Structure 1
């Protein structure tokens, strides 16, 4: 009986450590990915702005 309960405790601890590891990995991914995502967004926004500005200025020059 004692052996069984000890095994259950060990399994629970293993599950808990797995969850903690997974959560930490998720947190690290979140922290490392967020700046990349923001930079990509800012870069796309800048490129779109430049393209729109070029088109508008070209149209403005024609008139």
Structure 2
């Protein structure tokens, strides 16, 4: 299923926010696994946002 650039950007922003929370919880509770999951989720969010930006570039 194809998604539009706004959807990709929104998904990316949500993943970045959730990842930041997860990373902070991991640091606060001294759980490196949770902290790593948060960082990974943030990376996924950055990639999803970039995907939306690429779609926008090709629309022009």
Between Structure 1 and Structure 2, whose CA radius of gyration is higher? 1
Higher relative contact order, chain-length normalized (CA < 8 Å, sep 6+): 2
Structure with more helix by fraction: 1
